[in-house]
Amino acid sequence: MATRVDDCSYWQAVWLDPGAVRRLPAGPDRPTVTWEALAEEWEDTPPVEPSGAWSPGWAAAVGTSLAHLVAASAGTPVAVPAGLPAETFGPALDMLLPPGRPARRVVLAGPGLPAPGPASDIALVPRHPQTGQVWQPPGPTTAVPLAADVWLHLTFPRARLPVPVTGGLPDGVLRDDPLPLHPWERFRPDGEAFLHTLARLPAVRQPWLREVYDRVRERPYARPF
């Protein structure tokens, strides 16, 4: 229908002229996945692409959730789980929030995981990929939504084992090539997604959070973005 070339780092949208197109059914709608079956029926998204670059989907998802996470912090430092959550969220939180002893603890929560403990203040939870509903943890823990495919990789990563063209390998045997994918640069959350989300949160009216918003808007490409 058309060809378009532009900057790939921005959100895209397409509108079709109603007078030029005709809508036809593409088949039966995909049944809505239940929370309990999410890990089995929905694909996760790896954080690193074959080129060694971080996934743009991860950058956008983390940037969006980062806005909710900063707002939920109430202006105090937070501690995220070690590993990939700390690598993707940690540097940005350290730069956007004041230094000091971590006062609020962030955990991963959702269907198939244990309920957050009493010491958990904030939970990274999945946003349903079809309905947009945010999974709600029990108790007073604050829920911070995260894209389901990214949340699935953090909680239930699926091993993508290389296998021969024909046949297969015995269970438990992993070839030594190719090497696991590692990024060639530090992770940077999407600053546009962060600002877009933060501007629409009621908490941005608070002076401390508005100062964070203004600081990032004035220097959109400064660290950690």
Task: Please tell me the predicted confidence (pLDDT) of residue 100.
Answer: 83
Please indicate, yes or no, if residue 149 is contained in any of the structural domains: yes
Alpha-carbon distance of 86 to 81, in angstroms, equals 6
pLDDT, tens digit (0-9, with 9 covering 90-100), for 81-102: 999 999 999 999 999 999 887 7
Does 115 fall in a domain? yes
Backbone angles phi, psi at 99, to 5 degrees: -75, 165
Q: Which residues of the chain have pLDDT under 70?
A: 1-2, 8-9, 159-180
80 in a structural domain: yes
pTM (two decimals): 0.81
What confidence score (pLDDT) does residue 170 get? 67
**Which pLDDT score, from 0 to 100, does residue 166 have?**
55
203 has which bridge partners? none
- Give the count of domains, the chain: 1
- The pLDDT, as a whole number, for residue 115 is 86
pLDDT at 130 (0 to 100): 94
pLDDT for position 63: 96
Q: Which domain holds residue 135?
A: 55-156+187-218
pLDDT at res. 71: 97
* 34 in a structural domain: no
